Amino acid sequence: MPAEPNERVGEAGGASLCPQCLSLIPSWRERAGTEVYQVKECPRHGRFRALIWRGPPDFDSWRRPKLPARLDHYECSVERGCPFDCGLCPEHRQRTCTAIIEVAQGCDLHCPVCYADAPAQGGPEPDLALVETWYRAVLRSAAGCNIQLSGGEPTIRDDLPKIVAMGRGLGFSFIQINTNGLRLARDRSYVAALVKAGLSSVFLQFDAASDRAYQRLRGRALLAEKLRALDACQEHGLGVVLVPTIVSGVNLDQVGPILELARERSPTVRGVHFQPMSRFGRYPVNLTENGRLTLPELIMAIEEQSKGLFPAASFRPPGCENALCSFQGNFLLHPGGRVHPLSQDHNPDCCPRPEPAEQGALRAIARAARHWAAPPPGGPPARAAGGRAANSPAQPIMLDEFITLARQRTLSVSAMAFQDVWNLDLDRVRDCCIHVVSPDGRLVPFCLYNLTSAGGQKLYRP
């Protein structure tokens, strides 16, 4: 009989940073109805498990096998074994798709939920010379990847435009900032300077279309400032990805309203990237395994709350990272309100052939640059579908009209389910393509870099 899902069993080993617990390969095949649990058994802590899947599509159907990538350069050798030799080491199976450079330690918010556990005052920020060494470390290990400037809150730096320009000068063609948007909302000249420096995209913290969720997740009402930040990006031609942290019982009901706002704000809003809350950094301590939001539950919430505009069948496992990490779909927004899925329906009955992991990474790099940056100049076609009900039968459109629509009105809808100490899976770690640049210039998978025990002990983050 499977153990009952509870905190005593679920956190016996997962709450710690026990080397044996972290290095265990999970046994996946424990089911309770439509729920799937990852199970580990540590000689010291005993048997424990974590929820990883709840509901359709079937867990076994959500797969996309890959042939491991071999990297041109490894910073670390294998000594203690995964996950303790990251930098990256020869056990890693995927190249870097996005390199995250943390240019600020402090933040002008102190959110109850913060993956980086950023303080209000973070001490001295890295100088430009150090930031340049980090850029060059990425060039050495992962030339051609996308860059995300993060923190802390990167916009607390007055010289952030110089950091953007530095990255562009070194050859990075896609640079994005990960921001709460507060400075963008109040300082239009700062936005203009970022655009002039070559900023490609804004990854905007955006948890809801009402203030109730902001009070819970961020500590105060923020919606008006978020909308002003969107206005500033629209004024200066910056593409925006809305990034909601989703917590069951707090803002899961905001999935539909966020998607509706994204449609209304297209083409400035280029995507919505949902992040079910994981337990690292700062988080509510009373979150149980039964309260964990899984990818299939989020897919169904998208379909139901959008009233079918974004159907569940249109979301697919990723081609870059591990299939259990994320989902993604692209949609064409017709001017009259109709939404047309561009991604091929996921067919759980077919047997996908393994493809080289690096191919998936290169597609992901190109897709982010294509879909998350601002659209090229020129508005949507004049002949619109105005007056038609959403997703009503479409009239034929000319090829040039379709091409213009595809450039201007494509919306990417995706999600990333980060790992924490409860559900850490070494297969997922080795397939990770989103890497944080550590202070000494090594590339560390995002989830490992942010991993913390229930008591706040850190594995990689200083």
State yes or no: pLDDT of 284 exceeds 80.
no
Average pLDDT, the chain: 88
- Tens digit of each residue's pLDDT (9 = 90 or more) over 196-220: 999 999 999 999 999 999 999 999 9
Separation between Cα atoms, residue 106 and residue 85, nearest integer Å: 28
Residue of 264, 267, 155, 248 lying closest to 209 (CA atoms) = 264
Residue 5: its pLDDT value, please? 31
Sorting pLDDT into bands at 50, 70 and 90, what band is 401? low
391 torsion bin: left (phi>0), alpha (psi -120 to 50), beta (else)? left
**DSSP class per residue in 297-308:** HHHHHHHHHTTT
Single-letter amino acid, residue 254: Q
Sorting pLDDT into bands at 50, 70 and 90, what band is 122? confident
State yes or no: pLDDT of 8 exceeds 50.
no
Q: List C-alpha distances in Å: 2 to 29, 131, 355.
A: 10, 49, 35
Domain ranges of the chain: 7-61, 73-376+389-450
Residue 220: its pLDDT value, please? 95
Domain 73-376+389-450 has CATH 3.90.226.10: no
Separation between Cα atoms, residue 214 and residue 244, nearest integer Å: 10
Separation between Cα atoms, residue 221 and residue 215, nearest integer Å: 5
- Cis before residue 109, ω within 30 degrees of 0? no
Strand 35-42 relative to strand 46-54, pairing: antiparallel
Tokens describing residue 347: 């067919």
Query: Are the beta carbons of 375 and 267 closer than 8 angstroms?
Result: yes
Q: List C-alpha distances in Å: 393 to 88, 93, 263, 390.
A: 50, 44, 19, 9
Separation between Cα atoms, residue 456 and residue 111, nearest integer Å: 16
Q: Which residue has the tokens 């095949």?
A: 29
